[in-house]
Structures are given as structure tokens and as C-alpha cells.
Structure 1
Amino acid sequence: MDAPDPQSAEPQEGAEPQTRPARARWAMAPRRDMPLVQLLPNLMTVAALCAGLLAIRLAARGDYANAVALIIVAAVLDGLDGRLARFLKSESPIGAELDSLADFLNFGVAPGLIISFWAFPAAADLGWGAAMIYVVCCVLRLARFNVGNEVAAGLARLGKFQGVPSPAGAMLVMLPLYVAFLWPDAPRLPEIALSLWLVGVGFLMISRMATPSLKSVRVPTERASFVLVAGVALVVILLRYPWAALTTISLAYLAVLAVTGFAQLRRSRG
């Protein structure tokens, strides 16, 4: 007598029905706990994102002073979150993507809308077109930075950027607003000039020009205390005379860009 085939689909008479364990619909990854402190960099990035959103809302209501202040807060948080992530060893792909998306809103969309609400209240086509070009240049710069290239990597090793970084571009594009608040009785620039300014700053962000970075600045140890005092003095001046300080910083940065660009042009021709 042949033994019953164990692979047969026909159940044997009198045998108990066999049941298979239910298959899980989703495979659950093993749980991994992490210290709460490692979430601080992402929380700072989200806080910067909220600052940019609130800046847009305030600018739409005409509160440009507080809108600019929130963009500065977002820039400070953007400068700290990456360093904090490296210090805590909590870098992650999602953190990098979140930082890039927050930069696009805070230093692309928000400054473009702030300048548009302030300079082009009648929703002029020329001004809105210039604002869109600025925002597109910002997102192109961030996309290029995310992908990376050999030139940018080589400049980074030298402590330089390729093109104007987006936080600096955001501070720079709002220069006409600083000047208008510093000298409220002065005539406002014509629409064509403000539009060209928006486009020009956008092109600086996507340019191939090597621009200086604070990472390349070295301070002698014995003078570190003086630098700290100077930093505190700068914060006090920003709080007491914000428009004069922002105008001076922007013009000084423009001068550095002009000198740097001229030196690079001479080297390329020589």
C-alpha cells in the first residue's frame, strides 16, 4: 500500500484540517529607539520653516519689519541645524531633504513674496515675473547643491561656495526694502530697477563664481574673545539699528563679491 503523498491537496479522511498562520499585510521593521536630543536638528529646521511661513503671512498684511526679522531668524536656524546634527551625529537623508525644502521656502519663496508685496502692490506683471525668476533661480541652486558636482566640491574643500548661497541671496534681495525703511522720505526705485535687482540676485545664486564662506575664516586663539565681543556688539546693533546694520552688511557683501569676481576675471584672462 502506497503512503499518502504529503504534497497532495486532497485532505485525508478523518484527519484534522491544517491551518496556515495569517500573513502580515505589512512587514514591520524592527523597532529602534533613538535619544530625543537627536531630533533637535530636525526640530530647528521645522522651526525655521514655520518662521518662513509666518513671514509670508506678515508681509501679506503689510508688516514688513517683522517679516524680515523672521527671515533672519530662519537664516540663523539654518546655520545651526546642520552643525548641531553633525555634533550629535544624527545626520540622516530625511534631515538633508527637509533642510533643502525649508531653504527653498525661507530663502526663495518668502523673500520673493515679501519684495513683491512691498514693491509691486498693484500686482504688476513685470515685478511678479522678476520675483518668479528669483524663486526659480533659488530652487535651481538648491537642486544643483543637492546633486553636487566636482567644481562645487573642490570649492567646498577650499572653504568657498559656487555662487551666492541661498541665505545670503535672501538677505541681499531685500536690500531695497532695508534702504526704504532707513530713509523713508527717499523716492522709491522704479519698478524696472527693482525687477532687475531681483533677477540679478537670482543670477548670482546660480552663477559659477566662487564666493567666500565664513567657514574659511580663521581666528587666532588669543583673539577669540575679541571676536565674541564683536559678535555681541553686532547683535546689539542689529536690534537697535536694524535697517542701517542690514544695509551696511549687504553693501559690504556686495563689495566683497565685486572684488572676488573681478579677481577671478583677471585670473581667467591672464
Structure 2
Amino acid sequence: MQLANVCFSLHKWQEVERYADELRELATAVYQDELRGRKMNRKIIPPKTERHLVVYYGQGFLLKSAALEKQGLYAEAKKYISGYADLSEFELLDETGRIEVEKFRLWATANRYTLDVLLGDIEVLPAYTRFLMDHPKEILSGLIAIMESANRHRFKVDGILEQFSSQIHDFTEYENSIQMDRYFRFRYELATYRLQNGQYVSGMEDILRCLVLATIMKNDSDFIRCVTLFEAFRPHATDQQKTEYKQIMEGIRNEEVDFASNRFSFGTV
């Protein structure tokens, strides 16, 4: 699971798939061995692990689904959600295990909505937004999916942005590298959405924010995407925005940041 998480942070999706498959196989083997021992009244000493066995079993499905989603294989990713959506029948559960099962149930609901939206099913948006309101910790990830889908399928989400305006304002209070990465992705999709819909001033402002984040994260590919997007819409930038952009570029040049050799590691999922 640790290897899958590291590969996830490095965006090596096929390697995440490989380790997720291996994780499911190992967790299933341990689980079946413990069940056989119980039926035969044989004392089984389970392996000492940091987490409950159900976590490794469920994470095998969740990581597989997430890696497929990141590769744009949304329909295939949905198939793996059923593997962790309801683990209540998982035997050998104690109180800790039951708490983990409920976490997986919540993530499955959120991820089903996410994949439906990414597939362009805008009819689920009202239910999805209600779900996000009820589960604030899922709002950032949910809005990333909504914005990405809105840009791909060209539908309007101004009402949703207004609905979550206060939460969006608080996104600047990220606490770790994972949140920073997610915040970047949201801001980049938001910038793209605004620029595509003629909201040039706010869109260019978002791109400037993304440039700063990409610089902090030392992420070369994200930085290049931001520069490309800014240059594509440069005629619509205000004089102040062009000045800020120039200052950012000069700061990068003066510090001689080598993005190629300083790729940012986002931690684990």
C-alpha cells in the first residue's frame, strides 16, 4: 500500500494499478487463511500490521479505481468501486474495522458521483452538490471533478461556484502537499473555465495564483501549463496582471530554479 501511495503521488498510474492488484491479492490471501483457521478451530497469528486488514483489502480496490480514473478510464474505474462500497460482510471486524468500513462506504458514494460527473452526467449535479454540502471534507475533490467535467463537456457551473464561494475562499488554508496539489488542480480548472467563458480578469488572476503554487511545488509540467495558458490569453490580461506575471518570471530566473531536477513529491493518499 505504501508503494502504491508513493507511485500515486508521482502520478505513475500504471504502477499504482500493479501495486493495487498485488495488495488485493495479498489481503485476500491473509483474510482467507484467517477464516480457514477459525473454521478449523486452529489458532492463527495474524501478521502484525499498522492498519486493520479490511483497510488493505478496501484500499486495493480504491487505489485501482483511482488509478484508472486518473487515466481517464472512468467506466472501468466504476467497476472497482463495488469492491469497497459495502464491506459490512467482511468477517473478523472489530470496532476499528467497522469504523473503516464506514469510511469506505462514504468514499464509494463520493467516487461514484465523481465518475458520473466526469462521464458528463450533469443530472447528478444537484445530488452531488447536496452530498458535498453534507460532507465538507469532500468539497475540494468534488469541485475539481465538477470543474474538469465542465471544461471537457462545456456546461455552466456558475451557480455551483456561487453556492460554494465561502468554502472556495477557505481553500487557501491548505495544510500539506496533497492539499496544495489539489488546490492547484482546482484553481487551474477554474481558470480554464473562466477564460473559456469570457471571464478574463478573474481567469488570469487564477492563472497567476497557479503559477505561484507551481513554483512553490517545483512542478515543471504544471508551471509550463500555466505559462502556456497565460500566453494564450495574454491580450486579455490587465496591465497589472502582466506586471505581476513578469515579476514571477523574473523571480524564477533570478533564483535559477531547476524544475527538471527538483520535482515535487506530493506525499501519500
Same fold (TM over 0.5): no
Task: State TM-score, norm by structure 2.
Answer: 0.30
Task: State TM-score, norm by structure 1.
Answer: 0.30
